Structure 1
């Protein structure tokens, strides 16, 4: 599977630890995407757990790069409602805010900026507002975050459909 992802035009990475409550949102989105209607052949979904940094580093080195990387994670945003979903622009993430984002420990922010600035890869980051993360092992999503899973999947499918509509309609004449 890992070798195959380097051939895809679109990669969707679910970040998080399903043993830590709402932090398991990213992996649950991947599970839901893979269990629903098939995605186009040029799309691969991968539950990367807390290893996103290692995988992103590989994309700085490989010759063939995807057109689109979608990263799905959970975070806490003061004032936001649990289960609310957001898109974060990589360019807008201030270095001072690095500790506020999970993306599994967001020094990944610098790597995301490098990928966006030094390649033609479009990097999109989608997050959900958590109800807070437990201090010990506590598997399972809270109700508001679980309810956001199909909403996030729909948003990702819409993005894929918009982005790759031309390739889906292209075919032998």
Structure 2
């Protein structure tokens, strides 16, 4: 996989999903909006990884020199009891083992990789998710209105993560 920056960064923010499938494009939309930030700290990377997050995480597991202190994953994730467009934070450890496949971050076997990073390396992993309204089975680009309206809130949450961390250093 070709990705932007192979050097160590303090915070890595990855937008996941496929914008050709409705609300699955949430992660891409958030990264696109975040890329408009003019004063982004140089030790932060924003990247739209599409559906290729596993390759990036695998690189982090294998090469400690690349590992950031914090990884933020942005994705659409269906969770029972949430309303369409609701933005929520979750860590890999908060996903019940029996619910890993119900918590549909693309049927995330990647949860195991995120858990390994968080527990085995001390890397903090945060998932910024939105409850999708629609992820069609065939190509249908564009976010639903409720999910499109959630993009600025997700961006504000991520900016707070980035800039609060910068002030602590």
Question: Do these two structures clear the TM 0.5 threshold for a shared fold by scoring above it?
Answer: yes
Pair 3,48 (structure 1): closer, same or farther in 2 beyond 3 Å: closer
Distance change in 2, residues 1:96/1:163 (3 Å): same
The equivalent of 1:128 in structure 2 is: 130
Q: Match of 1:4?
A: 5
Deviation at 1:5, TM superposition (A): 4.3
1:95-144 deviations in Å (ceiling 9; x for gaps):
22122233233111111110011112111111001112112110000001
Whether the 8 Å contact between 1:21 and 1:142 is mirrored in structure 2 is yes
User: Is the aligned partner of 1:21 residue 2:43?
Assistant: no
Q: Does the CA-based 8 Å contact 1:51-1:104 persist in structure 2?
A: no
TM-score, scaled relative to structure 2: 0.92
* TM-score, normalisation: structure 1: 0.90
Matches within 5 A, 1:67-86: 67-86=69-88
Within 5 Å, give how 1:36-115 maps onto structure 2: 36-64=37-65, 65-115=67-117
Task: Figure out how many residues of one structure are paired with residues of the other and give that number.
Answer: 167
> Higher helix proportion, which one?
1
**Structure 1 vs Structure 2 CA RMSD:** 1.5
Larger radius of gyration between Structure 1 and Structure 2: 1
Classify the secondary structure of the residue corresponding to 1:14: strand
Secondary structure (helix, strand or coil) at the match of 2:79 reads coil
- For the Cα contact (< 8 Å) 1:6–1:66, is it kept in 2? no
Conserved? CA contact 1:8–1:42, under 8 Å: yes
Whole-angstrom distance in 1 between the partners of 2:7 and 2:97: 29
Residue segments in structure 1 that go unaligned for 5+ positions in a row = 168-173
Deviation at 1:3, TM superposition (A): 6.2
